[in-house]
A and B are shown apart, each in its own frame.
Chain A
């Protein structure tokens, strides 16, 4: 089946504008993650959805960032009033956690550039 897809693949916006990034997880995966990766850096956790539970938002850097997951499938990450420091690659991953460990399947990312 299809893997995780993200759109748009690239986004250029002006400082102060709002942006929406979309993630389509693998069908049937109950867990969904958003990460941010700045150039040459590691993964920064943003938010985690698991089934119908309240999401873990502990990684969101400010209240300008929010995310939702509709119907347990597609997720949208919204950044309001974008700042230049928001420029990064935003990665989405999904998994189907079991009793033991789990494998995260990543999308190709959305490259966000804030001018």
Chain B
């Protein structure tokens, strides 16, 4: 199974672009990469998911290089409300076996 590693914490300022990189050297062919956001006292919330190259939605972009051994979540023009913990998740569901590996989370603090 892929081991998922991400920075413990990051700081940035309002209006900046923030990039959080997750490494997953042993990612399997069928594995997807998903990022979740978690605010205090809430469950995680889906941000974005990708398999390869680049994915963009209304809140973030996800960059995945050709070897897929890492991925970068990009948050454009962050605001104070983006202060949260961001989790990288790698894996795929196969029948009844849980094969999803969560990173330990990156605590992102946005300063005014």
Which parts of A52-67 form the interface with B (CB within 8 Å)? Answer: 53-56, 58-59
**B42:A53 contact, CB within 8 angstroms:** no
**B102:A43 contact, CB within 8 angstroms:** yes
The closest CB in chain B to the CB of A57 belongs to B98
Which one, B34, B43, B98, B103, contacts A56 given CB within 8 A? B98
Number of A-B contacts (CB under 8 A): 63
Closest Cβ–Cβ distance, residue B7 to chain A (whole Å): 13
**B44:A43 contact, CB within 8 angstroms:** yes
Interface residues of B (CB under 8 A from A): 32, 34, 36, 41-46, 49, 51, 87, 92-93, 95-98, 100, 102-105
A42-B102, A59-B98, A108-B42 given. 4 additional CB < 8 A pairs?
A: A43-B87, A58-B98, A93-B43, A108-B43
Question: Please, could you name 16 A-B residue pairs with CB atoms under 8 Å apart, sorted by A?
Answer: A42-B87, A43-B87, A45-B102, A50-B95, A53-B95, A56-B98, A58-B98, A59-B98, A93-B44, A100-B32, A101-B51, A101-B92, A107-B43, A108-B43, A109-B42, A109-B43
